[in-house]
Amino acid sequence: MVDTATFTNTQTRYRLLYLTFAAALAAGGLWAALIGGPAMRASAQEQFDREITAENLGFCEKFGMRSGTSELVACTGELAIVRQRQADRDRAAEIGL
């Protein structure tokens, strides 16, 4: 015969364990959404900016524009305009314009 007090204590322990696990999971999710998420996005944006800068420099230097010259500055500026126009076209296509 099963002792109902032991069964109830075991059941209560499992419920408490489940609720503790659910609370820890929720806390981790909140941390990721509120604290970790913005920091990860900022880090990803910085990495993206570094990659774009390296691509711009590589492209302009490929055509003989050396680092530190006004031609390189002008070239990278024009590339920024081209990239912005493409981003605008992509956004317009995304919304169906």
pLDDT at position 31: 85
Domain containing residue 73: 4-95
Q: How many domains does the chain have?
A: 1
Side-chain half-sphere exposure of 51, counting CA atoms within 13 A:
6
Per-residue pLDDT of the chain (97 residues; tens, 9 = 90+): 556 666 678 888 899 999 999 999 999 888 888 888 888 889 999 999 999 999 999 999 998 998 889 999 999 999 999 999 999 999 999 998 6
Query: Could you tell me which of 82, 48, 77 has the C-alpha nearest to residue 65?
Result: 77
pLDDT at position 67: 84
Query: Could you tell me which of 62, 61, 55, 43 has the C-alpha nearest to residue 80?
Result: 55
pTM: 0.57
Query: Could you tell me which of 55, 51, 47 has the C-alpha nearest to residue 79?
Result: 55
Side-chain half-sphere exposure of 2, counting CA atoms within 13 A:
6
